Amino acid sequence: MDSITHIALGACIGEAFFEKGFGKKAMLWGALAQSIPDIDFLASLWTTPAEDLLAHRGFTHSITFACLIVPAFALAADRIHRPHNIRFKKWILFFAIEVFTHLFIDGFNNYGIGWLEPFVHTRFSFNTLYVADPFFSIWPGIAMVALFILGPYSRKRAFWWRLGLYLPVLYLLYCSFNKLQVDGQIRKILAAEHIPSLRYFTTPAPLQNWLWYVVSGDDRGYYVGFHSVFDGQRPIQWQYFPRNDSLLEPVNHHEDLQKLIRFSQQFYTVEKWNDTLVFNDLRFGQIIGWQNPRGKFVFHYLLENPGSNKLVVQRGRFAGWDWEVVKHYLKRISGL
C-alpha cells in the first residue's frame, strides 16, 4: 500500500493497543513501525533502476527483517519511556503486529513481496487490492486525524480507532470476495474461448475494486482485457500481445534484462518503438487500457537507455487522464 495508508493504520493500531493517555505516543510509534519496511527506498541512491525494482519490497519486507527490527523497536521504546508499567512482552507484541501488518497488506497488491528473502527469492502477491485504493485508505486516514485532534482521555477515541481498523478489514474481505468471483467468471471465459492460461492473473484497475485487469497466456504471448464484476459472463474484448523474445537477442548480455525478467514473473512482452527496444511488464496494466485497448503498458523499460528509466513503475500510471477519461472509466466500471 501507499505510505500514507501505512502511517494511518500504524497510528490506529497504536491507539488500539494502549489508549488511556499513552495513545498519542503509541500512535507515533505505530506510524514509524508501519513505515520502517519501506526504508528500502534508500536503495535507489546507489542501485540501478533494474536493481531497485528487486530491492523494493525485498529484504526489508521479509519475515527475517521483521524478526530483527521488532526487538530493536521494543528495546528502544522500553528505554525511551522509562519509568512506565508496560511489560516488555507487550512492546514486542505491539511492534510485531505493526510490522507484520505492513508485510501482510502489501501482499495483496500486484507488485510482489519477498517474504522469504534472503533465502528464497520468490515474490508473493494476491493481486486483490490496488496499491492506492481510496475506499481502503480513507477510513484510517480520517481516524488518525480525529485521534490527533481529540484529547488523550476522550471517550470518543475508542470509536475512531475502531472505525480506522474495522472498516478497512471489512473492505479487504469484500475485495477478496470480488477476487474469487471474478476469477471464477474469467476461468469459464478462458475455457470457453480456448485461450491459453499457462500464466494468468487478475488484478484491480486503478483506485477501485470493481473493474479488473486480466492477463492470460504462455511463452508465445498474452491476451489482455478488462472485466467488471457487473459484466457477468459477457465476453471480454481481448487484445493479443506477442512476447517477441527474439527481439532480446541483441541485449541478452545485459545484466538488467535478467533482473527485469525475474521481476516480471514472466509476464512480459518486448517491442520496438522506432529504434528503441522496450521491455513491458504486463502486471501493472495499460495506460487507459479500458478506453484504448492497444494502449502502451504502464511499466515500459527502455533496454538500450537504462539511465532514462527512473520511476519506471509510476511514470505511465495516470498519463493522459482527464475528465473524459474518468467518465469513460466510471462507465466501464458499471459494466457498460
Average pLDDT over residues 54-78: 96
The string of pLDDT tens digits covering residues 201-243 is: 999 999 999 999 999 999 999 999 999 999 977 889 999 999 9
All cell numbers assigned to 74: 521494543
Strand order in the sheet with 268-273: 268-273, 276-286, 297-302
Q: Determine the Cα–Cα distance for residues 211 and 291; give it in Å rounded to an integer.
A: 13
Q: What is the pTM of this model?
A: 0.93
Measured CA to CA in angstroms, residue 283 lies from 222, 268, 289, 324 at distances of: 11, 8, 13, 25
Q: Three-state SS string across 98-145, please?
A: HHHHHHHHHCCCCCCECCCCCCCCCCECCCCCCCCCHHHHHHHHHHHH
Residues 214 and 238: beta-carbon distance below 8 Å: no
Q: Would you place residue 307 in the very low, low, confident or very high pLDDT band (cuts 50, 70, 90)? A: low
Q: Would you place residue 255 in the very low, low, confident or very high pLDDT band (cuts 50, 70, 90)? A: confident
Q: What is the pLDDT of residue 7?
A: 97
Q: What is the pLDDT of residue 197?
A: 95
Checking if the pLDDT of 253 tops 90, the result is no
Checking if the pLDDT of 304 tops 90, the result is no
Concatenate the DSSP letters of all residues of 268-303 into one string.
EEEEEETTEEEEEEEEEEETTTTT-TTPPEEEEEET
Q: What is the pLDDT of residue 152?
A: 86
Checking if the pLDDT of 57 tops 90, the result is yes
Average pLDDT over residues 122-140: 96
Q: Which is more confidently placed, 250 or 20? A: 250
Checking if the pLDDT of 179 tops 90, the result is yes
Q: What is the pLDDT of residue 308?
A: 67
Burial of 275 (0-12, 13-18, 19+ CB in 10 A): exposed
Q: What is the pLDDT of residue 41?
A: 86
Checking if the pLDDT of 50 tops 90, the result is no
Average pLDDT over residues 197-203: 96
